[in-house]
Each structure stands twice: as structure tokens, then as C-alpha cells.
Amino acid sequence: MTRAFLQMLHGPLIWISHFSLIYGAAGFGGAFGFSEHGIQLFCWIATLVAGTSILFLLWVGRENRASISSIGRTLAQLSLVAILLQALVLWIVPF
Amino acid sequence: MTDYPHALPRPKAELAELEKIWKVPTGFRLLTAVNNTYIGLFYVGAALLFFILAGILALLMRLQLAVPENTLIDQGTYNQFFTMHGTVMMFLFAVPVVEAIGVLLLPQMQAARDLPFPRLSAFAFWAYFIGGLVFFGSLFFDLAPDGGWFMYPPLTSTRFSPGENADFWLVGIGFIEISAIAGAIEIIVGILRTRAPGMTLDKMPVFAWSMLVFAGMIVFAFPAVILATFLLELERAFDWPFFIAERGGDPLLWQHLFWFFGHPEVYIIFLPAAGMVSMIVPTMTGVPLRAYKLIVVALVATGFFSFGLWVHHMFATGIPELSLAFFSAASMAVAIPSGIQVFAWIATIAAGRLRLTVPSLFILGFLAIFVIGGLTGVMVAMVPFDWQVHDSYFIVAHLHYVLFGGMVFPVFAAIYYWLPAVSPGRLSERLGRWAFALMFAGFNVAFFPMHIAGLMGMPRRVYTYAEGLGWEWYNLVSTIGAFTLAAGVAVVLADVLLNFRLSLAGNAGNVWRAGTLEWLPNSAHGTRSIPPVTSREPLWDDEKLAGDVDAGRYYLPGAPTGGRETLVTSAVEAVPQYVLQVQGPSWRPFFAAVFTAAFFLLLTVKLVMPALLCGVLTLAMIIAWLWQTDPGVNHPPVDIGGGTVLPVYVTGSSSHSWWAMVILLLVAASLFIALIFSYLYIWTVSPEVWPARMPAVIWPLASAVAFILSSAAIAFAGRMLARRWALCLSIILACLALAAAWYFEFQGQWQSGLRPSASSYAALVYTVTAVEGQLVVTAVIMGLYTITRSLAGLLTPVRRATYDNTMLLWHYTVGQGLLGLLIVHGFPRLAG
């Protein structure tokens, strides 16, 4: 069950982790006294790690023909789009 | 036909016994009924009653606004009306009605005899219905809440709302939240564990997928609003200043918590409606649903992404630009999965030939209205536009296009579509067409002009307006539209009264030629036998299926244990695992619900002692109800057919009750996460109220040691199940250690001089302790209950589900306690 759960939901789970990290960093980083550049760098690294993780898991699961896996792959692709959309914000909005 | 699990003919007495076992009580004992069909119908009927009541409030408000400077309703009453309209529609209609349709249809769709916890469904319904009626009744005593359905402080603080009206909202909806969570647990376990053999996840009806996502979202979203209401009530009752800026609080904390629930709530309402559409469209077009997997992806993705949008309700509050941009981007991202579903429905309609029946008309109406609501949603996701229209009638128009279009139209389609499955007749096509025409025209006439009135500057929630502002005609037209819409709803009601007859003896049959299992011949016991499933539309693939199922050719055609049963299958592949002995009619869930509702409502009017008495009675009823669960191996393994022999009792992670407990703990974890978010949020807002001096380290250390000791003692008790006195002593030690752990933490804070009303920081520290205290009390009660069962000889190394669930709760309580200590004592030191 856990395996099927992760096969299906790895993309959204990475999305939610990435979202929490960058929102947390943007919301709480300043209060901790971190510099804007530091927060921005952290967010970029988080985005890179999240995006790479999804791409890696897509590559690993490419041979799996099970339905749950194919639903999971499409969900992961959609999550990647959402992660990149969030990252776009980092790029175009000044801190 | 050697492929069938059972040969025909079946013994004559078998069906008679099945019918006798599943017979629904009659007369006043109907209140004890727990069959999903009855509870589901009660639930739908009650939700529609609240829909009508809230609709009447809307009509009265529209009458007031029909002309400028009207004096029909005074300002105070108008405030109560719009607050109750929103609250009743969201909490007493929208969520319950989809939960109700789930309870009614899911077992039939999955060919289960019932949901796994029928008494929990009955409890959820009665708590909701009784509590909801009393809550609505507050209107007649001038006690209804009047702070808007999202109850923002400081407007709802004691300073600006000194009466009990706000308390009715805060405490009064507690039972609705409990009811919704109880229903969600039932639905998740029911969908994952009681599907027909072979109904793998990718063969599951889309409605079941949507209900699974819906229930999962309730588990993670509702705790945030439970916490928010708890904090505001603590502030109002005991002056703990979570939202009072002078003492380090922040009113925006309420908005964060409320909308962390409130935005997913929109999708909690919409996704099941989308699931209904995905069931009706293939039937009406005669072709399988296009892009099934993409629709599943869209449902799951929407469920996740909707949790990243809550701040888009707060664009006008002055939050940082980066946050605005984050949430604006997330708001646009969620449009993608919604769009996928709309295109899939259009593709299905294009691939087949749509029969223009009443359900089809409501679906077409839904598509048109929801797309318009979605487009205005993308508009308000853009920050500059949102700033212009915030709190204007444009937002009123948008939310009604989304909610009424996205949810009410599909629900009416569902009523026309599925009532023949639970009634000997079907509703009138002629009346239905009239109803649709009136509702569709009335809706657009009522709500489209509100976009324009809003863009012209008309704010929401005003009870009247001056002449000459240019809003007169738009408001008059809206009022005419509202009454036209109401006329449409009245036609539906007339149709139901004329043509619907409740009868489980027989239904109208598969009148729409649908392909899914809820259209099999059904009775109080569900289907006669449980068929294996090999496709998404089994009735289309095998024309003889209905007859064979009804003749008892498939699994479990009788009642081999002599009681109510259903098959439990594995979560992913739906492989039969065991025969679950389902509980039957009982007064216990009914009285537990009555006392729960009474507890909350008496607390609202400050009748503390009677409220406590009701709380104790609720507990007594729940314990009496639990006492009959965990039957142990009371029957040898049974042959369900085809040589498949299954046990009647399992424990551990295979057991359905273990799953329910894990989901309940997820609810508790969500609430704790929301609390920790509040703690950290307040620190970012008011670091100056953080303490210069912390309690001595010995207190949290002693607490942590006691927590770990209690966990070890409860784990040790698990090895002593066969040795009664050692088990009892271990659990008593665990109870004492747990209580001591909590006491050390409380005492440490108290001795350091910290008082909860001093600052928002102090209030949050004591709230962490209070929330942990609730868990400690529950764990101790469960511990004592486990001891009692052991002493009564009802707990053995085999019959151990009670211990397993207590142990899960215990370890979670300890884990949360340790994490709480780490944050409360570690974070201030880390942050300096």
C-alpha cells in the first residue's frame, strides 16, 4: 500500500514539500535575519532539488506500465509545472 | 458455468435469512437504523432542508435589496441573515449533501453491503441534523451569528461582538466539524477497503475517486478551522489574546487558519460534484468516459494544489509582494486540472450522442456556469484586479457562479439521475425540464448583473444603498432572477413529493442504461451477491451480470456468520482479505449524537454544568457502542464462494479499524501542524512578546522522560496480553507516566510566571499544552477502557484490536508531546 501510495503521489508530495520550503523561507527567513540573497538562493536550490527529484523519479519509473504508476507519472509532470510556476515568481518578483 | 463462484439454484432460505438480518427497523425505532441507504437518504433530505432554509434567507435579502433605501429588514437582522445564509450553505448544505450522496451510493457502486462503520455514519448524520436545526433556530431568538460566514476578528472579538451570537458560530459548528470528519473517515476506509473483488484503483468509478480526494481533503483542511474556532473561543471566553494586536496577537492569523480550510473547502465541495458529472456524462452519451486517468490525475492534483491557494483570499490585507506572487501563481496553476476535467467531459460528449434528459440539461448548465465562474476566478487570481473588486458584488457573483454552478447544478443532476436507484419510480422529465429552465435562467438573471454592480462599486454585505448610484436596476433584476431560481427549486421539490417513494423492496431499475454497479438490483442488504469486477463499466460488458448477481451466483450470497457482513478487500488490488461483521441498528449512535449536539449548544449559552453532563453521557454512549466492537474470532473462516475461504477477524494493519485510527491520528496531526504554524507566525509578527526567561530545563526534561516511559509501558503491555494483571499494571503505569508528563510541562510554565492572558506567546504555549492535554485525557480513557476489556476477558493475544488502537493513539500522543516540548522550549532559545 505504501509503495502504491508513493508511486502515485510522489509528484504532489514533492510539490507540497517545495511549496512549504519556499513559502516558509520567504515568510520566516526574514524574521530569522537571513539576507534576501540567502533566502533567494535557498529557494533556487529547493526548486532545483525538487525539479531534479521529479525528473529522476520519472526516469526511474518510465518502464512501469501499471496504471497507478502511469497516473503517478502524469501527476508528477503536473507537479513539475506547478513547481516551475512557483519558481518563476522568484525570478520575476523582486524581494 | 463453472466460472461462477456459486452454482444455482441457491437454497431458498438463504435470501430470506439475508433479508431478515438486514431488515430496517420500523416505527419510532427507525431512529436506530444504520443502513447506508436510509442514513444516506436522511442525510440528503436534511441537507436539502437546510438548502431551502438558507435559500429563503437569500430571498429575504434580495427583497431588501430590490429597491434602494428599503426598510423591510433592519441592519442587524440583515447581518444575521447573510451570516447564516453563508454558514448554512457551506457547513449545513454543501459539505453534508456530497457526504450524504457518498454514504448513499458508494457501497452500491462498489457492490459492498454497507460502509464499514454504519453506526459512525448514523452518529455523523444525527449529530449534524439535530445540531444543525438548533443552530438554525438561533435566528428566531436574535442569537444568530452576525459577523459574516468567515467571522473575521476583531469584528467577532468580545469588544465588537459582546453577545453570544458569535459563540453560536464558534462552538455551534463544532458538532458539524465532528460530523464531517466522522463521515470522511468512514468514506476513506469504505472506498479503500470494501470494494468488490477485482475493482482495482484504476477500475474504480470516478465518483469514488472524487469522494476519496474529498474525504482526504477534509482530514487535512478541517483541523485548521477547528483550531481557529478553538482559539477565538478561548480568546472570547478566557481573554487569551491570539488576535488582539495590543498583546502581540494578530487578526490575520485567523484569516490564515480560516482560509487554509476555506479555500480547499471550495474544492471539497466541487470535486464530488465533478465526480457526479463524470458518472452521468458517459451514461447519457453511451460511451465510456474519455481520459479516465487524466480525470483521476486532475482530481488528485486539485486536491493537493488547493492547499497552496489560501492566501489568495487575503490579497487586500497588505501581505508582502512575494507572498502575493506565490499565491497568485498557485491560483493559476489550479486552473490546469480543472480545465482537464472540463475538456474530458466535452470530449466524452463529442464522442457519443448525448441524450437530452433532465440530468443532461443540468450538466450542460453546470458546464456553462462553472466555466464562467472559473474564468472570473482566474481574473481575481490576478492581484491588481482582485484589489479592485475585493469585497464587492463582483466577488458575490464569482463565488455563486463557482459554487452554485459547480456544485448545485450537478447535485440536482444527481438527484434526477440517481433517485430511480432508490425509488420504484423516476422523477418527471416534464417537470424536470421546467425546473432546469427556471433555475438556469433565474440563476443567470440573479447573479450575472452582480458582476456589473460590483464593478460599479457596490460593496457586499450592505443592507441597503442610496438612490442615484446606478445600482438600482441591477439589484431589481437580481431579485427577479432570485425568485425565478427559487421557482425552479420549488418545481423540483414538487416533483420529488409527487414521484419519489422510499422503498428498499425494489427500485426503478437501470432506467438510464448505465454501466456501473449501483444500478444492480439492490435491497436493504445491497446486492444479493458480490460480483468480481473486471472493467470500469461492468454492466455494459456483461448483460447477464445483473441477473446473475441477483440470483446469488457470485460471492457471499448469504450470511454465513448469521449476522451483517461485507467483504473487506486490499486497498490497491481489491483482493478479498476477510469478512467484516458489520454492526446493525442501535440507539447508541443516536443518543451519542443527541448528547454531542447538546454538549456544544449548552456550552454556547454558558450552561456549563448541563453541558458537562451531556459530555459525560456522550462518552458513556460511545463506550457502550465501542464495547460491541472487536468481536474476536467468533466464527470459523467462511467460504464466500469459488473456493475462497476468508477469516472473519483480523488485527493490525490489515484491519479496517486500524485504518480508521490512523486517519483519525492524521486529523490530530493536521491540527497540531496548524497550531505550530500559528506559534511560528505569531513569532514573526510580534517577537517582542517572546519571553526573556524560560522555565528551568528540568521541567521539559522530566516531561520528556515521563512521555518516553509511558510509551515504553504501553508497548510492554502489548507483550502481556495473555497475562491480565501484568497488562493492567503496565497500562496503569503508562497512564500515570503520561499524566505526569503533561503535569510537568504545565507546572514548568506556570511556575515560570507565564499566564495565558498575558500575551499571544503565552496563550499559544498554553494552547499547545491544552491540545496535548486533550490527547492525554483521551489516551488515559482508552487505557482504562482497555484494562476493563481485559478484566472482562475480551482482550487476548488474538482478540487485540482494542489494544492495537489504544497503542497507536498512545504513541502518537507521546510523539506530539515530545515535538511540542522541543518547539515550545527549543524554538525561543534558538531564536534568541
As a whole number of angstroms, the distance between CA B656 and CA B99 comes to 20
Measured in angstroms, the CA of B333 and the nearest CA of chain A are apart by 6
Mean pLDDT of A19-46: 85
Mean pLDDT of B433-459: 98
B653 pLDDT exceeds 60?
A: yes
Name the residue type at position B665: L
ipTM for the assembly: 0.91
User: In whole angstroms, what separates CA B556 from the centre of its chain?
Assistant: 31
Mean pLDDT of B40-61: 97
Q: What residues of chain A have any CB closer than 8 angstroms to a CB in chain B? A: 1, 4, 8-9, 12, 15-16, 19, 22-23, 26-28, 30-32, 67-68, 70-71, 74-75, 78-79, 81-82, 85-86, 88-89, 92-95
B174 pLDDT exceeds 80?
A: no
pLDDT per residue as tens digits for the range B210-233? 999 999 999 999 999 999 999 999
Lowest mean pLDDT among B495-499, B601-605, B746-750: B601-605
Is there a contact between B301 and A4 if contact means CB atoms under 8 Å apart?
A: no
What is the grid cell recorded at B308?
A: 497552496
CA angle B712, B717, B719 (to 5 degrees): 105
Share of chain B above pLDDT 90, in %: 85
pLDDT per residue as tens digits for the range B260-310? 999 999 999 999 999 999 999 999 999 999 999 999 999 999 999 999 888
Nearest CA in chain B to A11: B301
Q: Tell me phi and psi for residue B66, to 5 degrees.
A: -60, -35
Determine which of A14, A22, A74, A77 to mutate to test the interface with B (most B C-beta atoms within 10 Å): A74
Burial (Cβ within 10 Å: 0-12, 13-18, ≥19) of residue B155: middle
Q: How confident is the model at residue A94 (pLDDT cuts 50, 70, 90)?
A: low
CA angle B507, B513, B517 (to 5 degrees): 65
**Range list of H helices, B654-759:** 656-685, 698-718, 724-751
Share of chain B above pLDDT 70, in %: 99
pLDDT for B188 equals 97
B window 218-247, beta carbon within 8 A of A: none
Is there a contact between A88 and B684 if contact means CB atoms under 8 Å apart?
A: no
Is there a contact between B325 and A8 if contact means CB atoms under 8 Å apart?
A: no
The CA-atom distances, in angstroms, between B386 and each of B266, B317, B323, B381, B421 are: 18, 11, 15, 7, 44
CA atoms within 13 A on the CB side of B752: 22
The predicted model scores a pTM of 0.95
Determine which of B296, B299, B302, B322 to mutate to test the interface with A (most A C-beta atoms within 10 Å): B322
B337 touches chain A (CB under 8 A): yes
Any residues with CB less than 8 A from the CB of B690 and at least 6 apart, and which?
B683, B761, B828, B831
Is there a contact between B305 and A82 if contact means CB atoms under 8 Å apart?
A: yes
Is there a contact between A19 and B320 if contact means CB atoms under 8 Å apart?
A: no
Mean pLDDT of B62-67: 98
What is the grid cell recorded at B208?
A: 469514488
Of B321, B330, B572, the CB nearest to A68: B572
As a whole number of angstroms, the distance between CA B266 and CA B395 comes to 14
Residues of B within 8 A of A89 (CB-CB) are 322, 325-326, 328-329
Of B202, B320, B330, the CB nearest to A68: B202
Of A9, A67, A81, the CB nearest to B202: A67
As a whole number of angstroms, the distance between CA B742 and CA B826 comes to 17
Is there a contact between A4 and B571 if contact means CB atoms under 8 Å apart?
A: yes
Is there a contact between A68 and B322 if contact means CB atoms under 8 Å apart?
A: no
Mean pLDDT of B156-184: 89
Residues of A within 8 A of B681 (CB-CB) are 27
B571 touches chain A (CB under 8 A): yes
Residues of A within 8 A of B683 (CB-CB) are 31
What is the grid cell recorded at B184?
A: 470522511
Of A27, A68, A92, the CB nearest to B323: A27
Nearest CA in chain A to B300: A75
B44 pLDDT exceeds 50?
A: yes
Q: How confident is the model at residue B691 (pLDDT cuts 50, 70, 90)?
A: confident
As a whole number of angstroms, the distance between CA B537 and CA B656 comes to 27
Q: Which of B343, B308, B381, B299 is nearest to A82 (CA)?
A: B308
Determine which of A89, A91, A95 to mutate to test the interface with B (most B C-beta atoms within 10 Å): A89
- In chain B, helix, strand, coil percent, each to 5? 70, 5, 30
Measured in angstroms, the CA of A4 and the nearest CA of chain B are apart by 7
Measured in angstroms, the CA of B632 and the nearest CA of chain A are apart by 25
pLDDT for A4 equals 84
pLDDT for B1 equals 42
As a whole number of angstroms, the distance between CA B696 and CA B718 comes to 35
Q: Tell me phi and psi for residue B568, to 5 degrees.
A: -105, 130
What is the grid cell recorded at B680?
A: 511560528
Q: Tell me phi and psi for residue B248, to 5 degrees.
A: 90, 0
B687 touches chain A (CB under 8 A): yes
Mean pLDDT across chain B: 94
Nearest CA in chain A to B570: A1
B301 touches chain A (CB under 8 A): yes
Q: How confident is the model at residue B505 (pLDDT cuts 50, 70, 90)?
A: low
Length of chain A: 95
CA atoms within 13 A on the CB side of B153: 29
B2 pLDDT exceeds 60?
A: no
Measured in angstroms, the CA of B680 and the nearest CA of chain A are apart by 8
The CA-atom distances, in angstroms, between B128 and each of B133, B139, B424 are: 8, 17, 28
A2 pLDDT exceeds 50?
A: yes
pLDDT for B217 equals 96
Is there a contact between B297 and A28 if contact means CB atoms under 8 Å apart?
A: no
B772 pLDDT exceeds 60?
A: yes
The DSSP secondary-structure symbol of B530 reads B
Is there a contact between B330 and A74 if contact means CB atoms under 8 Å apart?
A: no
A52 pLDDT exceeds 80?
A: yes
As a whole number of angstroms, the distance between CA B92 and CA B133 comes to 10
Any residues with CB less than 8 A from the CB of B64 and at least 6 apart, and which?
B70, B72, B73, B78, B463, B464
B688 pLDDT exceeds 90?
A: no
